[in-house]
Amino acid sequence: MSVTDTEALVVRDLGLEPMPSTWARMKEFTESRSADDPDEIWFVEHPPVYTLGLAGDAGHILDAGDIEVIQTDRGGQVTYHGPGQLVCYVLLDLKRRGLDIRGLVELLESTVIDTVAKYGIEAYPRRDAPGVYVNARKLAAIGLRVRRGCSYHGIAFNIAMDLSPYSRINPCGFADLEVTQLSELCNVTSIADIRPAFEQALLNRLDG
């Protein structure tokens, strides 16, 4: 794990880590943090796992097969995490940053849009279905939780991964929704190719 401290914002690179242990640490951090603690951004990849939102409908999981299903406390329906997907968890004091939940969703969407624009890709959000899309296919999914005025969970950005597990769910609760990834859209072939640009775009949005 590497850690960077950027003016009261701590950025952690967790590497490859199982989703349940990361989730437990996010909850612990949020419950125990004080008003003076700096916000944190966590970057991580997860081994294959389906996650279901707090009020998610398990009927959207069509055939989990040998992939574990975890019901979490984030918003939203079902999504998939796996190696080659850049997951960014945002542990922010929303009041201190002057953000509400809608503002945070838009900030995360804009971060992906800013990042891929550098590669000539025109991405966009959908008001009725949070996330980022390219040519009607979903590139990044968002699920958040707010507790004690602070956020956790975040955004999952498909970079260079096996997309086949998405065919066994209704992604984010939408039947027939197609997904895509950055490696299909440009010459990016790994998370290492894009992580610095994404992190800088996120810091720019948070500073703005």
Angle 153-113-10 from CA coordinates, rounded to 5°: 40
174: which residues sit within 8 A by CB, 6+ positions away? Answer: 129
Pairing mode, strands 2-5 and 137-147: unpaired
Does 88 qualify as catalytic in the annotation? no
Distance CA(56)–CA(76), nearest Å, equals 6
Cβ burial 171-194 (10 Å sphere, 16+ → b, else e): bbbeeebebbbbbebeebeebebb
SS3 assignment, position 182: helix
Which one of the listed residues 88, 150, 172, 186 is annotated catalytic? 172
122: which residues sit within 8 A by CB, 6+ positions away? Answer: 134
Active-site residues, by number, are 172
